[in-house]
Structure 1
Amino acid sequence: MNAADAAATKVRNRTLVMAALVVCYTLNFVDRQIIGILAEPIKGELQLTDSELGWMGGAAFALFYTFLAIPLAMLADRHDRSWIISGGLFFWSLMTAACGFAQNFWQLFMARMGVGVGEAAGVAPAYSLISDLYPPHQRAKALAIFSLGIPIGSALGVLFGGLLAATVDWRFAFLAIGAAGCLFAPLFKWIVRDPGHGRSEEGPRAAAPSFGTVFRTLASKPSFWLLGFGAGTASLVSYGLAFWIPSFLARSYELSLVDRSWLYAFIALLGGSAGIYFGGLLGDRLGNAHPRGYALVPAIAFAITGPLNMLAFATTNLWLATLAFIVPGALSLAWLGPVNTAITRLVPPEMRATASAMFLFINNLVGLGLGTFVVGAISDALTARFAEEALRYSAMATNLIYVLSAVLMLLAARRLSKDII
């Protein structure tokens, strides 16, 4: 095989691995977001409040997901990442199926915790693996392509979850989607081979450092904390709204389960995919020109997202609301490629998975842990005054947090050129 053929084979193999990673991340978000479209039937059968739905949709998942991600990422910095990801995929899919057997709030809460345990093995090791498949100048686009699993998975989770629940019931939706993930896990392991740590950079790779070493490295870089909390506060809003928009469509527009499944799947797929992909392209272009570009892309996006989302929730015209949801839905996810690339460039290759997990710790503790609960708790507090429209005003109030997110990203932009290695 000559050099040209070897290079072509390497690209084909890399593309196949990326495709498997995208499918895995899609299943990650199918299992994560299906709870949103099923919230209303679950609430009716199990007699839950909005606050309880918020705890179950966010904190139950985030509790172990957030804390286990770091030790699993440290393992991924030392061992075969494909085994870690495929094992997590099988376990979170199994626990998704277990949600279908829940008879009360606490049983469903515990099953969702199990989903979080499995998904803790999925993201940071994948970021690290992708960073070894693609060189730095292509990394924002590559991470953005991987992150397309978010809108695709969210859309499929909403669509298939809603259609299966409408056809059979919400329990069958959990069982069917969980079974699909369990079947894909061995195929994923067969396709994905770990390329080796540090393969995208020249020179020898150092041994994987301790957690304390990684923490001290990141603690000395203000941009890491600004990026972490900037993304975390934005995720608080975006995760919260992703969970509650189907319920908003049911309560304020009286859409059936099938109708709101199709509508929100369309919003999530179109807006999310466009935002993530073009955010990655801009991140590569601006970030390669100057490191501050990695933070300026999300700063501008967040500044626009809040007002447009408030318009979407304020209008009583369904078609205007749909259009208004698509654009901020795109802008709210444009940070994924640029910010995740910046995190991988703050540390040497042997620290990437652990550094990514520490970033995800902040992002998920704030975003996943609080987002759905905050929107639900405000809705409960406003119900006495606004009845079914309480969720509308709760969502509008939560969007004000995007101002803080934009400011934190602007501050990060000022530091990145000093912190990136």
Structure 2
Amino acid sequence: MDMATIQTTNPPSSKLTSPWLVLAMLLLVSIVNFADRFLLTGLIGPIKAEFGLGDGMIGLLMGPAFVVLYVVAGIPLARLADRWSRKMIIAIGCVTWSLATIATGMAQDEVSLAIARAAVGIGEASFAAPAYSLLAAYFKPERRGLAFGLLGIATYVGQIIGQAGGPAIAEMHDWRVAFYLLGTIGIFVGVLMAVVVRDPVRVVSETAPAVTIPMLSLIKVLSRNASFVLMMLAFGLGALSGIAFGYWGPELFTRNYGLEPVVAKTAFAVNFGIAGLLGMLCFGAVSDRFAKRDMAWPVRLSALALGTATLVILAVTWSNSFALAKWLAIPAGLLGGGWSVGIYATLQYILPDRFRATATALFLAITTLLSYFLGPWVTGLLSQAFGDGTDSLKLALTVVIPIGFIASVIAMIASRRIEKDRALLEQQQ
């Protein structure tokens, strides 16, 4: 066997895109990605009315219908990203999910709606693992917290576009028009990604195997790595809590405060979205500062922020005052918006480049099943079981949200083994 490592360094003659331009393009693609996910949550009312659906079916569309193929496609696409052009995988995926977004607007019943959402999942599976791997190739470890934090603001920009923009378009035209418009924009962004970004060439050096580690061997290696497993559980359970609230929160505001859907959902999206965006940026900068002392610190900060954010969003859920809920959105967004950055940055730190995208995809497969699959669906099922109304949604969220406390404890435990487990992964053949 040829004992050499595949690394993302480039020959002196090769011209790379500016790291900040790469980040900007990935941010643009990611905004489209999350705007599509949140668009459905902003249009629950008209979609339920047109197709006669209950909260359980809406939860199914927001969760399993999207997630199953997202997870199934994510690992082979990430495997491909460890060998082929990451930017082309992202670009092709963006065009694919954008076409599926347009198809969502063309749905005629719940079956065609579910098929369209499943197709969106296939396309979006092409983004996360290749994107974080690409950023890791362009940014040094001590700068990745900021880079990942900047990329993470796409979640909140996408939330504002989907949950505030979608209902506004639906009120002026029709809910279907929102899907047509977003899908068209996404196709353009995907093509732009393919044209603008240059993928670093992986150059062979003499420290570890150039041959990609077999999948089953990689799974065995990762499953025995305590830091990887604990961060995966912490991220998945923390995201389950946050996604359940983020997806059902706009509908909770509408039911809880007796406001017009556009007013309530815009208020939720803007207040939580802007606070989350700022939290993501601040957490990235703080994470980088602490990472210079010890790369375990980003995970510790994630644990503290996640635990506090969970407490605050529980308070929002049971707030009877619209004004108080909007004020609580500030600390909830600041803390809840940033905690994922610390785990992402530390994950990329411990993973060797030669299987970083594939390992990230495995990480995302499990965390996505826990969060996007179970979070919205279980909340919808519980709400329907509790009566399919205002109080039922509160009760459902009260059951699901506290899972964030468990995730916070797990993340703190993970922070104790970072350097040791990184060394173990570097030694893998």
CA–CA distance in 1 between the matches of 2:209 and 2:260? 56
Moved over 6 A (4+): 9-12, 201-205
Give, in angstroms, the shift of residue 414 of structure 1. Answer: 1.7
Return 44-53 or 9-18, whichever deviates more: 9-18
The CA distance in 2 between the partners of 1:382 and 1:278, in whole Å, is 39
Preserved CA contact (<8 Å) 2:232 2:363: yes
| Count of aligned pairs between the two proteins | 411
Using a 3 Å threshold, how does the CA distance of structure 1 residues 85 and 38 change in structure 2: closer, same or farther?
same
Output aligned runs, 1:167-246, within 5 Å. Answer: 167-197=172-202, 206-246=210-250
Q: Which residue of 2 aligns with 1:408?
A: 410
For residues 175-224 of structure 1, what are the alpha-carbon distances to aligned partners after superposition, in whole Å with 9 as ceiling and x for unaligned? 1111110122111111111022479x997883433223322331221111
Tell me if structure 1 keeps the 8 A contact 2:69–2:122: yes
Alignment-derived partner of residue 293 in structure 1: 297
Deviation at 1:64, TM superposition (A): 0.7
The 8 Å contact of residues 58 and 368 in structure 1, kept in 2 or not, is answered as yes
Task: Describe the shift of the 1:202–1:158 C-alpha distance in structure 2 as closer, same or farther (beyond 3 A).
Answer: farther
Corresponding letter in the other structure for 1:350: R
Partner SS state of residue 387, structure 2 = helix
RMSD: 2.1
Whether 2:336 is the aligned partner of 1:328: answer no
Provide Cα deviations, 1:46-104, integer angstroms capped at 9, x if missing partner: 11110110010011111011121111001000011111000000000000110011122
SS of aligned partner of 1:334: helix
For 1:255 and 1:11, locate their aligned partners in 2 and report how far apart those are by CA, in whole Å. 51
**SS where residue 50 of structure 2 aligns?**
helix
- Residue 109 of structure 2 is aligned to residue 104 of structure 1: yes
Instruction: In structure 1, list runs of 5 or more residues that go unmatched.
Output: 1-6
Point out the more displaced range, 358-367 or 204-213.
Answer: 204-213
Q: Does 1:134 align with 2:136?
A: no
CA contact (8 A) 2:167 2:261 kept: yes
Are residues 209 and 408 of structure 1, via their aligned partners in 2, closer, same or farther at CA, if it must alter by over 3 Å? same
The partner residue of 2:400 within 398, 404, 407 is 398
1:349-371 CA-to-partner distances (Å, cap 9, x unmatched) read 11110111111011101000001
**2:18 maps to 1:16:** no
Cα deviation, 1:220-252, whole Å, max 9, x if unaligned, reads 211111111111011111111111111111111
User: In the superposition, relative to structure 1, how do residues 189 and 306 fare at CA in structure 2: closer, same or farther (>3 Å)?
Assistant: same
**Contact 1:342–1:420, Cα closer than 8 Å, also in 2:** no
Which of 258, 265, 268 is residue 262 of structure 2 equivalent to?
Answer: 258
Q: 2:426 maps to what in 1?
A: none
Q: Which residue of 1 aligns with 2:4?
A: none
Matched with 1:95 is 100
Cα-to-partner distance string for 1:310-344 (whole Å, 9 max, x where unaligned): 11111111011012123222322323222112112
Cα 1:56/1:198, change in 2 over 3 Å: farther
Return the alpha-carbon distance in structure 2 between the equivalents of residues 413 and 108 of structure 1: 42
Given residue 188 of structure 1, which amino acid in structure 2 is its aligned partner?
Answer: M
- Identity percentage of aligned residues: 31
Q: What is the alpha-carbon distance in structure 2 between the residues aligned to residue 114 and residue 120 of structure 1?
A: 10
- Matched with 1:4 is none
Contact 1:27-1:153 within 8 A present in 2 as well? yes
Which residue pairs with 2:422 in the alignment?
420
Please tell me whether the aligned partners of residues 250 and 269 of structure 2 are also in contact (alpha carbons under 8 angstroms).
no
Offset of residue 10 of structure 1: 8.0
**Alpha-carbon shift at residue 388 of structure 1 (Å):** 2.6
> 1:340-419 alignment to 2 at 5 Å?
340-383=344-387, 387-419=389-421
User: In 2, distance between residues paired with 1:214 and 1:192?
Assistant: 29
Distance in 2, matches of 1:197 and 1:226, equals 30
1:337 aligned to 326, 334, 341, which one? 341
- Segment of structure 1 superposing worse, 409-418 or 87-96: 409-418
In structure 1, which of residues 139, 144, 159 is the aligned counterpart of residue 149 of structure 2? 144
Question: 347-356 or 336-345: which moved more?
Answer: 336-345
Per-residue CA deviation, residues 112-153 of structure 1 (Å, 9 max, x unaligned), is 000000000011000000000001111121111111111111
Q: Distance in 2 between matches of 1:204 and 1:146?
A: 30
Q: Which deviates more from structure 2 when the two are superposed, residues 99-108 or residues 55-64?
A: 99-108
Matched residue, 1:63: 68
Q: Residues of 2 paired with 1:10 and 1:316: CA distance?
A: 57
> TM-score, normalised to structure 2's length?
0.91
Range with bigger deviation, 136-145 or 390-399 = 390-399
In the TM superposition, residue 159 of structure 1 has moved relative to its aligned partner by: 2.1
- 1:212–1:260: structure 2 CA closer, same or farther, 3 Å change rule? same
**Worse-superposed segment, 163-172 or 70-79:** 163-172
Return closer, same or farther for 1:205/1:319 CA change in 2, 3 Å cut-off. farther
Distance 1:222 1:177 in 2: 41
Tell me which residue corresponds to 1:51: 56
Q: Is the 8 A contact 1:217 1:347 kept in 2?
A: no
Name the aligned partner's letter for residue 293 of structure 1. W
Post-superposition offset of 1:256 = 1.6
Q: Distance in 1 between matches of 2:210 and 2:144?
A: 21
| Bigger shift: residues 337-346 or 127-136 | 337-346
Distance 1:195 1:205, change over 3 A: farther
TM-score, normalised via structure 1 length: 0.93
Instruction: Check whether the contact 2:253–2:265 (CA below 8 A) recurs between aligned residues.
Output: no
Aligned partner of 1:121 in structure 2 is: 126
Structure 1 stretch displaced more, 324-333 or 122-131: 324-333
Residue 32 of structure 1 corresponds to: 37
1:24-64 per-position Cα deviation (integer Å, ceiling 9, x unaligned): 00000011111100011111111111011001001111101
The unaligned stretches of length 5 or more in structure 2 are: 1-11, 424-429
